[in-house]
Structure 1
């Protein structure tokens, strides 16, 4: 199992950050166009425990796949967790934390994941999967700055 941990400070209120994160439709804004990300179903309500959200995504090598996530935990103004039920990973557990800090909020992503295909997946992880995830989260960081400004 692998771990990806990212933090970013954003100059917005806790409520504004929560309102942005709890809308599944904002995930499209935060995903590079090259990923071919498209919400199919389940994003018509703010995030709630038990919510199922279906996407189409092209994570690697132009191969389109479906991804179904379940929101497993929600704590208002604090965090929510999504888990992949079906998709490109053998396991995907992603918790989105927010906390108020001086002059804004700290947004934190903690992801535990496993790649499919056993030994081959582990072999390609450092070559394909990890760089792709780093690229996606770099894009998200840049997009948050574009949308809300840079934390000073």
Structure 2
């Protein structure tokens, strides 16, 4: 099963970065390139433990829906979102936040995923998803970093 980790340094405290990372509206703005939006469950505001959201997006020219839940939550250290239903055989995304010792945050995203359809899914993972999925997380993290640091500048 493919997995990857993305580490992002943010010049804002972990509490701020944690909260921004759970904001549906921030997530939607970060994924504007794929027209991702929340269409079911919690569709605006902040997510918390046990919340469910259905996302709709366009990737590879195809409209997808994925319903996920916040399955673990310990503010401001980490939360986990996992697919309940959708395009993946498995989707697990751990978001971790730790102080950097200088007032900022080291944000770490660990993602495990598996495509459906057995051998055909493994081919899709090798040809496209292993490269595409980290790029999406990087785009999202750039947006979270900008939002957290901009919010800090206006305090």
In the superposition, the TM-score normalised over structure 1's length comes to: 0.87
1:101-139 alpha-carbon deviations (Å, 9 max, x no partner): 123100011111111111111112121111211221232
Residues in 2 aligned to 1:53 and 1:20: alpha-carbon distance in whole angstroms:
16
Q: Which residue of 2 aligns with 1:106?
A: 106
Residues in 2 aligned to 1:66 and 1:120: alpha-carbon distance in whole angstroms:
20
Structure 1 residues 134-145: aligned runs within 5 Å: 134-145=134-145
Q: Which residue of 2 aligns with 1:3?
A: 3
1:89 CA drift (Å): 0.8
When structure 1 is superposed on structure 2, of 63-72 and 138-147 the one drifting more is 138-147
1:49 alignment partner, SS class = coil
Unaligned stretches of 5+ in structure 1? none
Taking only aligned residues, the RMSD between alpha carbons, in angstroms, comes to 1.7
Is 1:96 the equivalent of 2:105? no
Structure 1 residues 2-151: aligned runs within 5 Å: 2-33=2-33, 35-41=34-40, 42-59=42-59, 61-103=60-102, 104-147=104-147, 148=149
Q: How many pairs were matched up?
A: 147
Unaligned stretches of 5+ in structure 2? 151-155
Report the CA distance shift for 1:7/1:25 in structure 2 as closer, same or farther (over 3 A): same
Question: Do the aligned partners of 1:24 and 1:43 also contact (CA within 8 Å) in 2?
Answer: yes
When structure 1 is superposed on structure 2, of 131-140 and 86-95 the one drifting more is 131-140
Question: Do the aligned partners of 2:38 and 2:44 also contact (CA within 8 Å) in 1?
Answer: no
Structure in which a larger fraction of residues adopt helix: 2
Question: Do the aligned partners of 1:32 and 1:139 also contact (CA within 8 Å) in 2?
Answer: no
